[in-house]
Amino acid sequence: MKVPFFEPDIGEAEIEEVVQCLRRGWLTTGPKASQFENDFREYLGGNVECVSVNSATAGLHLAVEALGISDGDEIIVPDYTFTATAEIVRYMGAEPILIDVDKRTLNITPEGVKKAITKKTKAVIPVHFAGLAADMPGILSVARDAGIAVIEDAAHALPAFKDGTMVGQFDSDATIFSFYANKTITTGEGGMLVTKNPELAKRARTMRLHGFDRDAFDRFKGGGWKYDIVAPGFKYNMTDIAAGIGIHQLKKSQQFRDSRHRIAKRYIKGLEGLPIELPVDGDSQNDHSWHIFGIRIRPETGVKRDDLLVAMVDRGISCSVHYRPLHAMTYWRERYSLKEDQFPVAHLAGEQSISLPIYPKMPDEQVDYVVSTLWELLGQ
């Protein structure tokens, strides 16, 4: 049996929408991007501003730019994340201060953030790892006490909840979602910056398109030649082609999540008893998005993760690793002279983790095959 790691769930509605967009002839940012922003705002409850962008990385960059982060500032970032979370800090000439994560959740904790705060700290960027929301009430309270900003990297977290509050609804300065090809919903490439701060939204809208004082869609409405440039902005706008896909993906977001949830439950039941750490499950107040289903091989098994990955591939199962931590990457290690013993949890997780296939249309037979293969390889 062949088991892909992930397959996007693209329906006829998305295909039809793209075809219509091409026939209409308005390809870049326009009515569909506006509609997607409106739909996203409604989806999150209506009391936020949504700024569509061409990637979550762009959205994260716009957030640190709007907050005025600059040379010498320190931004607290998990070591256990994708490099984008930290690289955008470097875009501003600021320094990411990498911290270790919690052993159970693999998220950063309020205590960990508190310990890392110095006079130079300007912000913290929690990541909701795998789709399990970080302790936002705790992190926000530590950040408020210290007077620092909070930017949520919610690339895995659509949808996810903490204590009944949806990610995107916390009082952070900005929350950024990703619609990359293998994220929980996709536009091919894309992202959404969400904020309750109208000033931050305004700055992000200006900077996502060259620093125009009005966006391309306004220009399209007439008087397009009459614009001003108020800053050296970026080229981060979302196309109508991408937004058209996103409008239909968003409608299915909960259905996708329910399918992944069902798969996660089947994995948890089937894998119980193996010498592995299973991911922390959510509950009714703490919905897990199940973007990633990661297991960690216990060191005492003596089975090497890399060998297990090869054995899985030999049996037709594509797996992945989330993450090789940032301290293990050449640039970050050398730039900040990082040592693995500064990040004991992230380091071990980076060596023991395997992400199993999970995607909405994954059939039960595939899940059961992954489970029985893991029993075959780890069961004795």
Ligand X SMILES: *Cc1c(COP(=O)(O)O)cnc(C)c1O
Interface residues toward ligand X, by CB under 6 A: 55-57, 81-82, 84-85, 127, 153, 155-156, 178, 180, 191
3-state secondary structure at position 239: coil
Cβ 345 to ligand X shortest distance, Å? 17
CB of 143 to ligand X, least distance (A): 19
Closest distance between ligand X and the C-beta of residue 156, in Å? 6
Closer to ligand X by CB, 100 or 373: give it: 100
Three-state SS at 5: coil
Q: CB of 36: closest distance to ligand X in angstroms? A: 15
Which C-beta is closer to ligand X: that of 81 or that of 195?
A: 81
Q: What is the DSSP letter of 68?
A: T
CB closer to ligand X, 43 vs 180: 180
Helix or strand (DSSP H, E) at 240: helix 240-251
Nearer to ligand X, 56 or 370 (CB): 56
**Residue labelled with tokens 């716009």:** 62
Beta-strand relationship, 74-78 and 95-99: parallel
Other Cβ atoms less than 10 A from the Cβ of 2: the count is 9
Of 276, 307, 296, 275, whose CA–CA distance to 380 is shortest?
275
**Residues involved in catalysis:** 183
Distance in angstroms (rounded) separating the CA atoms of residues 78 and 100:
6
Q: Is 343 exposed, middle or buried (0-12, 13-18, 19+ CB in 10 A)?
A: buried
